[in-house]
Chains A and B, each alone.
Chain A
């Protein structure tokens, strides 16, 4: 269970890929960080919200056959490490693509999908997943 409060706090990150950009060295971080590990103290107060373009490429991926309980009934599905245009990496599910067509180097773009739900009575959690880029 994710918990409604945590989900709510992370909505900008989960829906719109809002990360942080270091105002000193220009490096983009996702998920957002409050301090740049390179610039350390110099970056304090200079980390700005930065919206990722949503475009990236598959760097590596795996097919999940035995999912955790919250994803019961959804296997098999693909989870990839995606290198974003901005240089940062994130882990996300690849959707709307036959599993045997997913490949390293595939251009992908973010979309919003259902991630999980707290049972039949609980909240529904939405967030980013990736699909094959349209152009």
Chain B
């Protein structure tokens, strides 16, 4: 199948600690951090949104891949926080990397898995020969109502993947597991999402992530021990560890791709940032299982083998980028969210 030619990741520089949010709402900080395994989350600056985050990730991907952006034939941006309801983020990205006008583009929406849905589309377009390179981006500036449980994790960030015939990692297979499950939603015109409280666990996240992972391993004739790394969508720091255990993966297979405890849930960016962090450290011949999750609900699973070409690829060092951070208090966080003028 097609391959990952390159990737770029971006997470805003600002952070707020879970204990600062807990302090605001009179909650016990330790019960939050131990309950969610989220210690701090990224906060977009006042002038950052899904488009600017996508552009930053896309530019890094193009630069590292050393390809001519004019050869990118498709750009898909998956997000649940596109800056416009009507006016594609993908067009802004395309212009900012100078890939226009001989190309196709669209915005995707499938809660937190729209970015990996874009990857699948790029794979198909590359496979059929319609395009030479495709770019899929998953990015979000997640919004949670002040005081809502989601507020401790709802974060910002994104990753861009360039798909082509040859590259740094081969995509051996991809499958999806999709059902109609109302675990989380946002109605048109509403600023914040609603959710099914406890309903978000077993019938939603766990059923779909495990369903897709098992389907893929059955198709490939593999078991968890065949993979060096596993990346699962990270709505909090607990679920990906729990789903790994249920599937028979060990903690050490998951750790390199687990970013949620230090940046929060970047929604559409989550699985793709985790995969990017794994590619930052992976060696040729190593195998990766990556499974996204989008509420509503569905999971996309990918079986990936790292190629020799990764040795010459200028890896970004996402964890190093994440060390460059500035903490903000709750009031600054509200200002950055443009909550008051």
- Interface residues of chain A, those whose CB is within 8 Å of chain B, are 11, 15-16, 72-74, 95-96, 98, 111-115, 124, 126, 129
A16-B98 CB under 8 A given contacts A111-B56, A114-B48, A115-B47: yes
Q: Which chain B residue has the least Cβ–Cβ distance from A117?
A: B83
A95-B47 CB under 8 A given contacts A112-B52, A124-B84: yes
5 A-B residue pairings within 8 Å (CB atoms): A15-B96, A112-B52, A114-B52, A124-B84, A126-B51
Cβ–Cβ < 8 Å partners of A11 in chain B = 95
Could you tell me the distance in whole angstroms from the C-beta of A95 to the nearest C-beta in chain B? 6
**1/0 per residue B98-123: CB within 8 Å of A?**
10000000000000000000000000
Indicate if the CB atoms of B55 and A73 lie closer than 8 Å: no
Cβ–Cβ < 8 Å partners of A15 in chain B = 95-96
* Residue among A11, A111, A129 with the highest chain B CB neighbour number at 10 A: A111
Indicate if the CB atoms of A73 and B95 lie closer than 8 Å: no
Indicate if the CB atoms of A73 and B56 lie closer than 8 Å: no
Supplied contacts A111-B56, A124-B84, A126-B96, 8 more A-B pairs, CB within 8 Å: A73-B341, A96-B326, A112-B56, A112-B96, A113-B47, A114-B48, A124-B51, A129-B47
Indicate if the CB atoms of B340 and A73 lie closer than 8 Å: yes
- Which interface class (under 10, 10 to 19, 20 to 34, 35 or more) fits B? 20 to 34
Indicate if the CB atoms of B84 and A112 lie closer than 8 Å: no
Indicate if the CB atoms of B52 and A74 lie closer than 8 Å: no
* Residue among A72, A112, A114 with the highest chain B CB neighbour number at 10 A: A112
A96-B338 CB under 8 A given contacts A15-B95, A16-B96, A112-B55: no
A129 to B56, CA, bound (A): 12
Indicate if the CB atoms of A113 and B83 lie closer than 8 Å: no
A113-B52 CB under 8 A given contacts A98-B326, A129-B47: yes
Could you tell me the distance in whole angstroms from the C-beta of A101 to the nearest C-beta in chain B? 10
A112 to B92, CA, bound (A): 10
Decide if B45 is an interface residue (CB 8 Å cutoff). Answer: yes
Residues of chain B from 325 to 340 with CB closer than 8 A to chain A in the complex: 326, 335, 338, 340
Decide if B149 is an interface residue (CB 8 Å cutoff). Answer: no
Cβ–Cβ < 8 Å partners of B14 in chain A = 96
Identify the 6 closest CB pairs spanning chains A and B, nearest first: A73-B341, A113-B47, A114-B47, A112-B55, A15-B96, A96-B13
A114-B49 CB under 8 A given contacts A96-B13, A124-B84: yes
Decide if B247 is an interface residue (CB 8 Å cutoff). Answer: no
A124 to B85, CA, bound (A): 12
Decide if B1 is an interface residue (CB 8 Å cutoff). Answer: no
Contact of B45 among A95, A112, A115, A124 (CB under 8 A): A95
Q: Which chain B residue has the least Cβ–Cβ distance from A123?
A: B87
A126 to B84, CA, bound (A): 13
Cβ–Cβ < 8 Å partners of B56 in chain A = 111-112
Could you tell me the distance in whole angstroms from the C-beta of A135 to the nearest C-beta in chain B? 12
Decide if B46 is an interface residue (CB 8 Å cutoff). Answer: yes
